[in-house]
Structures are given as structure tokens and as C-alpha cells.
Amino acid sequence: MSKEGRKLIVVDVRRTKTAEIADYFIQVEPNRDYELLKAMRALVRDHELEVDKVAGVPVEYLEDVVDAMVSCDFGALFFGLGLTMSSGKLKNVEEAIRLTRDLNMRTKFIIMPMRGHYNVEGANVVSAWETGYPYAVDFSLGYPRYNPGETTVVDVLLRKESDAALIVASDPVSNFPQAAAEHLIANPLIVIDSHMNITARMADVLIPSAIVGIEAEGTAYRMDHVPIPMKKVVDPPDGILPDEEILRLILKEVKKIKSKRGRSG
């Protein structure tokens, strides 16, 4: 990233390589992101803080950082998984969004999550335009319903409400809480993936799929929601289909089974 005319602010619990090239580095104490964001919001609104430090950071230094933020012509706040994995979790993200809103009272600012695995953004974008919600969508009542904390997959698994799972290009067993992962593998588990991972090894049914952008054409989304057409480069192994085609075939069979049950009922 070119530094000419730009300021880079890094917030982390430890000094990283990115922090070494930053104009400002805020080394926040672990699990105190929420307090830090609250303090920054107060400073953006020109309130005085009656303490010397917040989350281990001197208030004078925070004032310099906030001055740099409100003085910019266009700013971007990028946040990663660390914000959701420390104490506060979703509340931390809410506070980051509120900070962005406050900054927009004085300048122009955007906020964007730093996505992890390939095309995670694509799954959220498609879900949002199809249902109005980016994730945790419940169709059990016949229409899309969204209530994080209730309809999110970990919560469903912890309540032991599911009795089967279809996993597409993901590895929840290695990432979910142990109790959630245990319930996931205790029931029929179908995995569609182009890579072998822990979840795939635990699957009752494993369907290998073609790799989009190499063995099949498709679309991937950048973090800023821009769709990128992906071209096929080589043929996949015999019998290996793209995940889209696999899902279409599964849907066709599901409709056929439901149709038979409807006639027999």
C-alpha cells in the first residue's frame, strides 16, 4: 500500500509486521476491544475522558489517533476475526459500526470485515440478495427468518436440534466449539468439498467436487462485493462435478422424493 498522503492505524494485542509499518499502533489489552471502541467514539464526539489510560492505551495517544481519523478525507475501518473472538464478540462489531457512524458525522468513513477463506463473501452476498439476510437463515417455517443467537448454526447444534447436516466447502469440525462439533458428527454428515479436511474425514458421505477457477468456471466475490468471473483451466478428474451441479442433482432428488410422498399421502 502506498503511504504517500495516507495514514495507517493498526490495533492489535501484539506487535505484528503490519504494526511495524503503521503510522499509529494501538496495542490494546486482550479482551478490552469494547472499552477501546467506546473511548474512541467519545473522543470523536469531542468528549473528554477522565482517565489516563483506556484498555492499556494512553488517552493522549488515542486523541492523536482520533485526530488523524477525523482529519482524513476518506477512511476505511477493516476488522478481522479477533474482534469477534474476544470478550464482547458481536457487541464489539456493533461498537465498531457505531464508531464508523460517528466518524461519518465529521468526515467520510466505511467499515469492512476482513474475510478469511476463499469466497466467504460470495456466500453472504448471495444469501443476502436471495433472502435479505447474510447468514443464519432459517427456512423451517416456510419463509426466511434471521435471528443470530438462535438461528446461527452453532446455537442450533448446541441445542441439539439438528439431526443431519450438509456441509459445502467448509471445515466446521476443526473450528466449532467441541460440543457443537460432537453433535454435528453424531448425526448423518454429508460433505461436498474439493479438499480433504477434518470434517470431510468425519463424513458419512463425502462427495469430491471440482475446484472453481481451476477445474470449473464460476464466480467468486471480493471483500468489497465485486464479483470476479473464474475461468476453467484444466479438466477435473473423471466423475468429479462442480459443487453447483452436485447441489442441483441433490435438489432434483429431494423434489422427486417429496413429490412421491405427497402422492402417497
- Residue 47, classed as helix, strand or coil, is coil
Angle at which helices 90-103 and 33-44 cross, to 10° = 10
* pLDDT value for 231: 96
Paired with 25 in beta bridges are: 10
The answer to whether 55 touches 29, Cβ cutoff 8 Å, is yes
Domain ranges in the chain are: 9-113, 120-264
Q: Which CATH class is domain 9-113?
A: alpha beta
Residues in the chain: 265
* pLDDT value for 263: 60
One pLDDT digit (tens) per residue for the chain, 265 residues? 556 779 999 999 999 999 999 999 999 999 999 999 999 999 999 999 999 999 999 999 999 999 999 999 999 999 998 888 888 888 999 999 999 999 999 999 999 988 877 888 999 999 999 999 999 999 999 999 999 889 999 999 999 999 999 999 999 999 999 999 999 999 999 999 999 999 999 999 999 999 999 999 999 999 888 999 999 999 999 999 999 999 999 999 999 999 988 765 4
- Residue 109, classed as helix, strand or coil, is strand
Cα separation, 6 vs 132, whole angstroms: 36
* pLDDT value for 264: 54
Cα separation, 165 vs 187, whole angstroms: 8
If you compute the radius of gyration of the chain from its CA atoms, what whole number of angstroms results? 23
Q: Where are the beta strands (DSSP E) in the chain?
A: 9-12, 24-27, 53-54, 57-58, 75-79, 109-113, 137-138, 145-146, 165-168, 189-193, 205-208, 218-221, 227-230
* pLDDT value for 5: 79
Buried b (16+ CB within 10 A) or exposed e, 89-113: eeebbebbeebbebbeeeeebebeb
* pLDDT value for 43: 98
* pLDDT value for 65: 98
Residue 165 neighbours by CB distance under 10 Å: 20
* pLDDT value for 3: 63
Instruction: Check if CATH label 3.40.50.620 holds for domain 120-264.
Output: no
Model pTM? 0.76
